[in-house]
């Protein structure tokens, strides 16, 4: 599993994931764009985005089926149930040999407004038997917990 993130000149966050070998994964069937909860229960690329030195963060679930979810948290696992995403991410999925590549663009409206952001790029991978594994740039806890702020190991500055 590989992941990369960078800002575009207009402040959008571009995310790229490469999952290989894709043949070993259970990939959800194509569903088209739209919001959906529970995407993390199957193969799903995720990004956790926080303002440096702040408790608030956002979680983005990006499924190879084309569905997505976006959540705002005031602090560790304290979800703001009233928050409605003001824009939708764009997701493009393609196969490249043995790999599945997912590219997502998060509009600036979805992101915290500060200049420097800390990110955690993560993947929930479901194998053909239905077993889930959890991948991240860093796992700060004893067990995978993507919400742990200490795992937000990638710092990006806006252009």
Q: Residue 113: is its pLDDT beyond 90?
A: no
Specify the pLDDT at position 11. 92
User: If we measure between CA atoms, which residue out of 158, 155, 152 comes closest to residue 46?
Assistant: 152
pTM: 0.95
pLDDT digits (tens, 9 = 90+) for 61-77: 999 999 999 999 999 99
Reference 72, options 90, 84, 87; nearest CA is 84
* Residue 148 pLDDT: 92
Question: Are residues 68 and 60 in contact, defined by beta-carbon separation less than 8 angstroms?
Answer: yes
The label of the residue with tokens 């084309």 reads 66
Are the C-beta atoms of residues 19 and 28 closer than 8 Å to each other? no
| Domains assigned to the chain | 2-153 (2.60.40.1190)
Structure tokens at 121: 């790029």
Predicted confidence (pLDDT) at residue 100 exceeds the cutoff of 90: yes
| Long-range contacts at 134-140 (CB < 8 A, ≥ 24 apart) | 135/1, 137/3
pLDDT band at 7 (very low <50, low <70, confident <90, very high): very high
């Amino acid at each position: 599993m590989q992941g990369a993130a960078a800002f575009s000149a207009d402040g959008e966050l571009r995310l790229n994931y490469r999952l290989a070998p894709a043949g070993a994964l259970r990939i959800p069937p194509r569903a088209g764009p739209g919001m959906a909860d529970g995407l993390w229960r199957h193969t799903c690329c995720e990004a956790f985005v926080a303002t440096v030195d702040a408790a608030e963060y956002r979680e983005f679930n990006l499924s190879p089926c084309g569905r997505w979810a976006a959540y705002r948290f005031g602090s560790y696992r304290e979800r703001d149930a009233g928050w409605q995403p003001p824009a939708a991410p764009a997701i493009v999925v393609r196969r490249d040999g043995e790999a599945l590549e997912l590219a997502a663009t998060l509009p600036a409206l979805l992101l915290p407004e500060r200049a420097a952001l800390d990110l955690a790029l993560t993947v929930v991978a479901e194998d053909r038997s239905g077993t889930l594994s959890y991948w991240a740039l860093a796992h700060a806890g004893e067990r995978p917990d993507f919400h742990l702020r200490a795992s937000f190991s990638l710092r990006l500055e806006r252009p």
